[in-house]
Structure formats: C-alpha cells, structure tokens
Structure 1
Amino acid sequence: MEQKLNERLEILVQGKQLEPELKVKIVNLLKKFESDFAVEMTSENAAMLVTHLPMALMRIKRGEEVEDLDEAILAELKKEVYYSKCIEFIQKIESETEIEIPSGEKNYLALHFCNLIKQERRE
C-alpha cells in the first residue's frame, strides 16, 4: 500500500475522525486485500476507498444510518465477477474490526473494491 494512502489514514487519526487502533487494523486489512486480489493500492486508484472505509466504520460505530445503492446500480454490481469475493472480504473486515457492517454500506464498499480490481486488471 502506497505511503500516501497511509498518510491519508494518519490525517484522519490526527483529525479525530479515526481511532488509532482501527487505523492499524484497516492498514493490515488493505494489505491483505492487495495480496489476495493481486492489486497494488495507490493514491490514484484507491484514495476514495481508503477514505471511505474508515469513515464508514466510524459512522457505523456512531450509529449513523447509511442508505443503500440505487437498485439499478446494485443489480449491476451483483453481476460483477468479483462481487461475491468482495463481500467475503468485507465479512473479513467485520470479523477483524468487530464492527457489523449494514448491507447498504457493504454494497458501497463492494462497489469500491470491485472497481479497484477491475481497474487494476483492466477487465
């Protein structure tokens, strides 16, 4: 994972938008994602994801509601080759962080993860 992405997470910690312990878990999980899916996360391809994931987890911890994706977008997302693998990875995030992610947020995260894989594999 590119150093700029780690710096992005550290800014969230410094701004009290992310707990330091959660940052460590997120970094480890994102490195695992890179390994599992053979992609390299850079500030060009993963900045949105690296910002969205910690903010989403913190929103969930605060009990804030999240709307689901538009039905048409969700239907297309579920057709993606990597959708089920991304959902499995999100379940790993839940397990490692001990935060239950609502289905709407899972779909947003799956969209980010699927797009990253497609972009890196040019599929």
Structure 2
Amino acid sequence: MDTLLERLEILEKSNVITENAKAICSKVIEQFVDEENASRYSMLITHLAMAVTRIERNETVYSPPDIIMNEVYLSSHFPAAVEKVAMIEKWMNGNFPEEERKFLYMHFVNVLSKP
C-alpha cells in the first residue's frame, strides 16, 4: 500500500498527474487495497491517476481493443468492476469518458480475478 501511495506522491510532485488525481487514487487505495493485494493494484492505480489527469487536461483518450473488452464483459467479475468504477465516479463528482471507463473495467476485472 505504501508503495502505491509513494508512487502517487512522486507522479504528483513531478507534475505527471494532478493533485486531484492523486486524491482520488488515494481514496481508491484506502477503500479497496490492503497489504495482501497491493501489488495487484499497481497498474489500475497508475491508469486511474493518468485517466483523471487526462480528463482534467482535456487530452485525447482511446478505448481498449474490442476483443479484450468482449472478454471483460463476459467475466464473472464484471458487475463488481462496474460497481467500483461507479463509486470512483461518485467520488469525482463526474463521469469518465466511455473509453476510460472501459480501461478501468478491464483493470478491475484483472485485479478481481486474481486469487
């Protein structure tokens, strides 16, 4: 967990991510991550921080390939992923573009499917 928080600190101090992105990711870590599963969340947290930053900086976003998303949609973990992304959007007081939402679904399904 500390490693994830340290990474966010470094990214924010070097202006790679925004202060708000760091705050949202810190809340996600606080709510969803514990010491036992922290390493599984590394890619998700990094992507989330960049996604929030891209939105705030009005940067272009792209979707993951349809072939990957078809697998994500069929996963038994997809409903939980949707729920978690909705929680994050609530904390943000806004919605992700569909492209970013798909990436977050993909990352959450990946994290949730690991034993």
Task: Calculate the TM-score normalised by the size of structure 2.
Answer: 0.86
- What letter corresponds to residue 11 of structure 1 in structure 2? I
- What letter corresponds to residue 88 of structure 2 in structure 1? I
Asked if residue 106 in structure 1 is aligned to residue 101 in structure 2, the reply is yes
Gaps of at least 5 residues in structure 2 are: none
CA RMSD of aligned residues (A): 1.9
Asked if residue 33 in structure 1 is aligned to residue 22 in structure 2, the reply is no
The aligned length equals 115
Task: Calculate the TM-score normalised by the size of structure 1.
Answer: 0.81
Structure 1 runs, 4 residues or longer, greater than 6 Å off: none
Asked if residue 7 in structure 1 is aligned to residue 2 in structure 2, the reply is no
- What letter corresponds to residue 56 of structure 1 in structure 2? A
Closer, same or farther in 2 for the Cα pair 1:101/1:12, shift >3 Å?
same
Question: Identity across aligned pairs (percent)?
Answer: 29
Structure 2 equivalent of residue 90 of structure 1: 85
Question: 1:45-84, aligned counterparts within 5 Å?
Answer: 45-84=40-79
Gaps of at least 5 residues in structure 1 are: none
